[in-house]
């Protein structure tokens, strides 16, 4: 599958290096720009398969570009590609609809796999950020049910496991930590994904982040 990508990043050297890296891996960079406003216009004109967006940019920053893009009728996924490992940046990007949060020091082949996964409909967060994502999930998943909560059908045990799987823990490790069998954990994870209508552990964690933020803003 030949992916068409737009890169929006204000660092010219990084853009050119990334363009070469992606091109060598059969990914077509249809535009590579350093200005958020220009990136938005080109996205509407060229309609790529995915947009790679830097977080820190002058004038209109990455979150501003993300918010503006989500206001358009464009449906392609947007992935942040950044050096920022700040919890606030990760959370705000996911809350505003980013389908990926990737780090600039990723291995090239891992980046390409992530892009293809995102275009295929998955939500991808850089593995190095799993502890931050898990911390946010564990701090935001409400234990009480509410009528708007996508977690109201989760049992307390499933809610607990959601926090652990967001850390990237394997079923075996979760089983050992909770003193239950691998098979029981597997059943719980399947139930969590089914109840939340998602396909991966990361997507479940992202949903928890989004929901937790809505809950905390309601209560503040």
Name the residue among 196, 193, 141, 202 with its Cα closest to residue 166.
Answer: 202
> Has residue 170 got a pLDDT over 70?
yes
Answer yes or no: do 46 and 137 share one domain: no
Burial class (CB in 10 A: 0-12, 13-18, 19+), 69: buried
Mean pLDDT along residues 41-46: 93
pLDDT at 160: 86
Mean pLDDT along residues 168-184: 90
Of the candidates 78, 101, 125, which is a domain's last residue?
A: 125
Name the residue among 46, 43, 45 with its Cα closest to residue 79.
Answer: 43
pLDDT at 91: 87
pLDDT at 140: 62
Answer yes or no: do 29 and 111 share one domain: yes
Question: pLDDT (tens digit, 9 = 90+) per residue, 65-118?
Answer: 888 888 887 889 999 999 988 888 898 888 888 999 999 999 999 999 999 999
Answer yes or no: do 102 and 211 share one domain: no
Instruction: Assess contact for 14 and 83: CB atoms under 8 A.
Output: no
Answer yes or no: do 121 and 135 share one domain: no
**pLDDT over 70 for what percent of the chain?**
89
**DSSP tag of 127:** G
3-state secondary structure 192-205: HHHHHCCCCHHHHH
Answer yes or no: do 90 and 146 share one domain: no
Q: The sheet that has 100-103: what strands, in order across it? A: 27-33, 3-8, 50-53, 78-82, 100-103, 124-125
Answer yes or no: do 56 and 105 share one domain: yes
pLDDT band at 167 (very low <50, low <70, confident <90, very high): confident
Answer yes or no: do 30 and 67 share one domain: yes
**156 vs 113, residue with greater confidence:** 113
Answer yes or no: do 163 and 101 share one domain: no
pLDDT band at 213 (very low <50, low <70, confident <90, very high): very low
Residue with tokens 């964690």: 205
Burial class (CB in 10 A: 0-12, 13-18, 19+), 1: exposed
Distances (CA, A) of 183 to 106, 172, 179, 205: 33, 9, 12, 21
Name the residue among 120, 89, 117, 103 with its Cα closest to residue 18.
Answer: 103
- What value does the mean pLDDT of the chain take? 85
* Parent domain of 189: 131-219
pLDDT at 59: 76
Q: What is the CATH number of the domain that holds 15?
A: 3.40.50.2300
**How many structural domains compose the chain?**
2
pLDDT band at 204 (very low <50, low <70, confident <90, very high): confident
pLDDT at 5: 97
> Has residue 214 got a pLDDT over 50?
no
d(CA 74, CA 123): 18
């Amino acid at each position: 599958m030949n992916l068409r990508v737009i890169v929006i990043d204000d660092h010219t050297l990084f853009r050119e290096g990334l363009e070469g890296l992606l091109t060598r891996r059969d990914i077509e960079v249809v535009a590579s720009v350093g200005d958020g406003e220009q990136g938005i216009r080109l996205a509407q004109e060229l309609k790529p398969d995915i947009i790679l967006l830097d977080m820190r940019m002058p004038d209109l920053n990455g979150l501003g570009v993300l918010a503006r893009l989500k206001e358009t009728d464009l449906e392609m996924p947007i992935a942040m590609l950044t050096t920022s490992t700040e919890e606030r940046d990760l959370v705000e990007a996911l809350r505003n609809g980013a389908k990926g949060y990737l780090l600039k020091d990723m291995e090239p082949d891992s980046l390409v796999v992530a892009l293809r996964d995102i275009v295929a409909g998955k939500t991808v967060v850089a593995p190095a950020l799993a502890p931050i994502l898990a911390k946010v999930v564990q701090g935001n998943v409400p234990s009480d049910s509410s009528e708007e909560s996508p977690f109201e059908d989760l049992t307390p045990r499933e809610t607990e496991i959601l926090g652990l799987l967001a850390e990237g823990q394997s079923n075996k490790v979760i089983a050992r930590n909770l003193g239950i069998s691998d098979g029981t954990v597997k059943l719980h994870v399947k139930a969590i994904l089914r109840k939340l209508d998602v396909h991966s552990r990361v997507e479940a964690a992202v949903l928890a982040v989004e929901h937790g933020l809505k809950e905390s803003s309601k209560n503040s």
